[in-house]
A and B are shown apart, each in its own frame.
Chain A
Amino acid sequence: MNEELFQYIDGEMNEDERKAFEIKLSKDEILRSEYQTYQEINKNLKADNVELDDNYYAEVISKFRIRSKAEKRRTGLVPKLAYAALAVVFILTSTLIYNTLSESPKTNDITAEMSIEELNNTLSAYYGNDITEEEMNSVETELNKNLAENILVDPSDSTSYDLIADANYSSILNNINDEEADIIYKELINKQFLGD
């Protein structure tokens, strides 16, 4: 897009600039065509005039009241799951990096950054090129055990141990909060798994 046209559309021109540009617009056919295309597109894009069903408000309120009540009943176990999510994603990320770069000379550098040696040993032992479902389950069990015993919780807190041991990655990731999602996301961007 022409930068001048952008400034005009964006309302970033002062009075004089705007007038001068409008004269230019009236004379330059290509520029005018680009402006008309933008106007047409913008008209089609605007969702303001897309109406929502009349019942949607009632549905929203009703759903909110149910959730609000459920929220009040939530136990204190969820934050522990959220911490688990951080650790699990760290492990998964490390694993992914390890697998992706196992042939690369960078591998040593990356694995050297990993803080839990035991997990590295476990991962390198289990993760080959063709990992079976059974092996994956075995790794998950090992990881969950490590999480519970070494990283996350007080070993005397058996409730949270069971909770973590029983959880699968998907359910844990469903419970991460915004702050943790942000940390994980930044970590994944740093590791170049996601575009910024």
Chain B
Amino acid sequence: MTDKNAQDFDLVKDFLAGNEGAFNQLVKKYHQKIYWHARQMTGNHLDADEILQEVLLVIYKKLNKFKFESSLYTWIYRITATRSLNLIKRRNIKRIFSLSDFDDNRIRKEDEIVKGIENKEKLEKLDKVLKKLPLKQREVFVLRNFEELSYEEISKITNKSVGGLKANYFHALSKVTELMK
């Protein structure tokens, strides 16, 4: 077991023993990773913030079912990836029935949480490019390119075959390169 896993497992055990502070420490450690994954998947702050909250609630409720077999990091990513996909699906369903309350201006204002103009511009560009990728490609692109996970790890998270993931990543990478030229 790695030191990182051991530290996480200790925090989980502390939390399960009733120490709420241990949960706060887990949040402090992982909130940015969860946020960025969600942000790259959804392309906006409000959705990413919502997913982060949903993921924290799931972790809080289900940590007692964590089996200490995989790393906590992988477990959290699986929850985050599922929540991100489902939120995008819900958005698409609403879009189909014209029920979306999506408001670009509102979302832009919320981007104040990011420091510096340069970062904001960078993020805006990233959001735009990623949004142009189909869902399956976006997911593997984010996990492979940004989270730098192996295909085997991504396969565990997404329940998809390594071959299919490679093909999707190839198409995603080609498309992103083309869009950014």
Contacts and interface: CB of A to CB of B under 8 A. Distances in A.
Most buried by B among A47, A52, A170, A181: A47
A173 B123 contact: no
Interface in B73-128: 82-83, 86, 89-90, 92-94, 96-97, 99, 101, 112-116, 119, 122-123, 125-126
A52 B52 contact: no
Interface residues of B, number: 53
Nearest to A170: B99
A131 interface: no
Nearest to B136: A196
Contacts of A21: none
B99 A169 contact: yes
Which of A6, A10, A50, A181 gathers most chain B CB within 10 Å?
A: A50
Interface stretch (A37-45, A113-121, A140-148, A159-167): A37-45
Contacts of A61: 24, 27
A51 B89 contact: no
B181 A52 contact: no
A155 to B, nearest CB: 27
A1 interface: yes
Interface residues of A, number: 46
A178 B90 CA distance: 9
B177 A38 contact: yes
Given A6-B173, A67-B57, A195-B134, A47 B126 contact: yes
A45 B129 contact: yes
Contact of B89 (A38, A45, A64, A182): A182
Interface string B154-181: 0000000000001001100110110011
A52 B35 contact: yes
A9 B166 CA distance: 12
Given A47-B36, A57-B31, A71-B57, A1 B177 contact: yes
A195 B137 CA distance: 12
B82 A51 contact: no
26 contacts: A6-B170, A6-B174, A10-B169, A10-B173, A37-B180, A38-B177, A41-B177, A45-B126, A45-B145, A45-B176, A46-B146, A47-B146, A48-B36, A50-B114, A50-B115, A50-B122, A52-B115, A60-B49, A67-B57, A68-B60, A96-B97, A170-B101, A173-B93, A173-B94, A173-B99, A196-B134
Interface of A: 1, 3, 6, 9-10, 12, 34, 37-38, 41-42, 44-48, 50-53, 56-57, 60-61, 63-64, 67-68, 71, 89, 92, 96, 169-170, 173, 176, 178, 181-182, 184-185, 188, 193-196
Interface of B: 24, 27-28, 31-32, 35-36, 39-40, 49, 52-53, 56-57, 60, 82-83, 86, 89-90, 92-94, 96-97, 99, 101, 112-116, 119, 122-123, 125-126, 129, 134-136, 144-146, 166, 169-170, 173-174, 176-177, 180-181
